[in-house]
Amino acid sequence: MKIATTIPEVRAQVAAWKKEGLTVGLVPTMGYLHEGHASLVDKAVSLCDRVVASDFVNPTQFGPGEDLEAYPRDFDRDCALLEEHGCDLVFHPAVEEMYVPNAATFVEIQSDMPKQLCGQTRPTHFKGVCTVVSKLFNIVTPDKAFFGQKDAQQLAIIRRMVRELSYGIEIVGCPIVREADGLAKSSRNTYLDPAQRKAALVLSQAVFLGQRLVQEGERDARKLVSAMEAHIKGEPLARIDYVSAVDGVTMEPVERIEGDVLVAMAVYIGKTRLIDNFVVEESAL
């Protein structure tokens, strides 16, 4: 596996691969990788001839007072995991490589879509996400890019950005990977002490409760969300940011569980903000 720290290095390697007629997959990450990221690399390896993973903690998607400086980093560990799973190139740029001084050009969806769910309390987050992903697309020029379903709003926003900016890149969504006890894999899980780690199970428990209620016939979104909120509020260490049922494409709130619906949540366990979700597909109703 090769390691590149500059944009020209990446472009030269990808150009060489494409000259050979090889397809290229991209797995964008912020590092501190876990089995969820590994599953994205595995999927990319299965569908593409060569795989590039980015390992970059993107400052523009963190708001004031968020955990940019504290965000966990372990590049050597990341490289070991990526190489084990068949990644061909890891792009590990410095902030100065990705953003010129006083950068003033950003990519942003001008609709209510990024204002829903996580955007309610992180108003600049998706502007930063779209900007860095757009830059990675321009640098790597992949045929396919791979994103996790755990960040469901991000996945929907990236799909829209790609469609509207005519990138010609296939976006592949990959399932949530969970611990044996149900907790969704997250780099931020490392922030949790033992008591908080146990308390964090309330998120996946609420997901499984919501799925069961839908399977049993609940179609009233308000009742579904209320039942999930009530379960979360039973955990003293949990503080709800949001629990919402939204249209799976537009992210707009829905009143009924009809069509493709995303049921998503963000919950603070102590100071750590965790997310989880499930999707109700129209074909399953």
Which residues are marked as active site?
37
| Dihedral of the alpha carbons of 26, 29, 32, 35, in degrees to the nearest 10 | -60
Query: Is residue 47 within 8 Å of 172, Cβ to Cβ?
Result: yes
DSSP-assigned states of every residue in 103-115: --------SSGGG
Q: Residue 76, exposed/middle/buried by CB under 10 A (0-12, 13-18, 19+)?
A: exposed
Cβ–Cβ contacts within 10 Å for residue 55, how many? 23
Please give the backbone phi and psi of residue 263, each rounded to the nearest 5 degrees, phi first: -110, 110
Instruction: Output the furthest CA–CA distance in the chain (Å, rounded).
Output: 58
Cβ–Cβ contacts within 10 Å for residue 249, how many? 13
Q: Is 257 helix (H, G, I), strand (E, B) or coil?
A: coil
CA-based nearest residue to 82, from 118, 50, 121: 50
CA-based nearest residue to 266, from 152, 141, 146: 152
